[in-house]
Amino acid sequence: MAISEESTATLVSSAMPRDYFDLLKPRVMALVVFTAFVGLYVAPGNLSPALSFIAVLAIAIGAGASGALNMWYDADIDAVMGRTAERPIPSGRVSAQETLTFALILSIFSVATLGVLINWLSAALLAFTIFFYAVVYTMWLKRWTPQNIVIGGAAGAIPPVIGWTSVTGTFALEPFILFLIIFLWTPPHFWALALFKSADYGRAGVPMMPNVAGNASTQRQIFIYSVLLALSGMLPFVLGYNGPAYAAAAAILGGVFVWRAWEVNLMDPQDTKMIKAKQLFGYSIVYLFALFAVLLAERVVMDLM
Amino acid sequence: MAKPELVEMTPDQKKAQRARNVAIALALVAFVVIVYVGTWAKLGANILARPL
């Protein structure tokens, strides 16, 4: 007896490679690749181009695997939120079991590759990042506290540190500054999104700051973190790692960030259009890319002179 | 003897399976290249310095 076409739909996967790639959160991965590379480049010492490439790739795949673990665990939440309903699991393209297997295999191989070919401190940091994002953030903090993305942001901030340790094999203050910048960037970035997506988060039962503390409090906290972020953005210059070109760029980029956050703070909490919050969210992505790009570019120029 | 229960794949499922197979093959080849190139890059000529 041949099984009818309808019932095979659940037995036979029609997932394309692209669906698996989407499980890795490619846009987050782009940020990870970039910041990890900056950490790797500014670190003192030499790592051959081949090993540098492998280090960044392993970090990117490890981060992607943690994203897939997140999608595996959060498929129930993702299904009820407009922003995430089209992800591979809620849309039915990839099964939860396949996602878990895929994520675990990539986690193990990325950590092992980094350990064997680069060093084990970096591998341990990558394993910790995956654990922190998948277990501490996704399974524990996200559904429990409005500080979820503040603490969970540490996972997204570690890649430049892994880039650094891939070259040096040890910790230092400089990669910690890069960590700090991304760590302080995460709350205003995510809360700006949470402001205009609060209905989605409310429906999913995720205790984001606007849902728990209200819009007005969130808007105020966004502004406070933005000021701290703009100040931390100056640290690479203050501590002497970077020069005046970076200082000028960081001041302008940070100033615009604070100004936009101030506009968010002035927004009527009852506002439903949330135009200023959307603008800040969009700008926050530009900010981080631009800040790290300038930091990197100045170092490249300094090295050439 | 009863006929075995066979799943008849739709053209879309066949196409997807083939695409996944190719992707897995490419990933495996890429991993082999990474380990090979990475080993040379890490050890260089020392790759030959081992007790025989």
At A87-129, the pLDDT tens digits run: 999 999 999 999 999 999 999 999 999 999 999 999 999 999 9
* Residue of chain B minimizing CA distance to A117: B38
- Residues of chain B in contact with residue A51, where contact means CB-CB under 8 angstroms, are 38, 41-42
Q: What DSSP state is assigned to residue B4?
A: P
- Residues of chain A in contact with residue B10, where contact means CB-CB under 8 angstroms, are 5, 8, 12, 14
Say if residue A4's pLDDT is above 70: no
Least Cα separation, residue A254 to chain B (angstroms): 39
How many CB contacts within 8 angstroms connect chain A with chain B?
Answer: 66
> From the list A3, A16, A117, which residue is nearest B7 (CB)?
A3
Percentage of chain A lying above the pLDDT 90 cut? 94
pLDDT in tens, A41-82: 999 999 999 999 999 999 999 999 999 999 999 999 999 999
The mean pLDDT of B34-38, rounded to a whole number, is: 95
- In angstroms, the CA A172 to CA A191 distance is 30
- Residues of chain A in contact with residue B17, where contact means CB-CB under 8 angstroms, are 12-13
- Residues of chain A in contact with residue B40, where contact means CB-CB under 8 angstroms, are 50
Say if residue A36's pLDDT is above 50: yes
Does A48 sit within 8 Å of B13, measured CB to CB? Answer: no
What's the pTM?
0.92
- Residues of chain A in contact with residue B21, where contact means CB-CB under 8 angstroms, are none
**A173 touching chain B per CB within 8 A:** no
Amino acid letter for position A117: L
Nearest to A115 by CA among B36, B24, B42: B42
Those of residues 33-52 in A touching chain B at CB distance below 8 A are 48, 50-51
> From the list A8, A17, A109, which residue is nearest B7 (CB)?
A8
**A10 touching chain B per CB within 8 A:** no
Say if residue A10's pLDDT is above 60: no
pLDDT band at A3 (very low <50, low <70, confident <90, very high): very low
> From the list A15, A48, A109, which residue is nearest B20 (CB)?
A15
> From the list B17, B22, B41, which residue is nearest A50 (CB)?
B41
Residue B1: what pLDDT?
A: 66
Say if residue A7's pLDDT is above 70: no
Least confident of A6-10, A39-43, A127-131, A278-282: A6-10
- In angstroms, the CA A153 to CA B25 distance is 35
- In angstroms, the CA A161 to CA A58 distance is 14
- Residues of chain A in contact with residue B36, where contact means CB-CB under 8 angstroms, are none
Note the ipTM here: 0.86
- Residues of chain B in contact with residue A20, where contact means CB-CB under 8 angstroms, are 20, 23
Residue A56: what pLDDT?
A: 98
* Residue of chain A minimizing CA distance to B10: A5
Torsion of CA A124, A127, A129, A131, to 10 degrees: -130
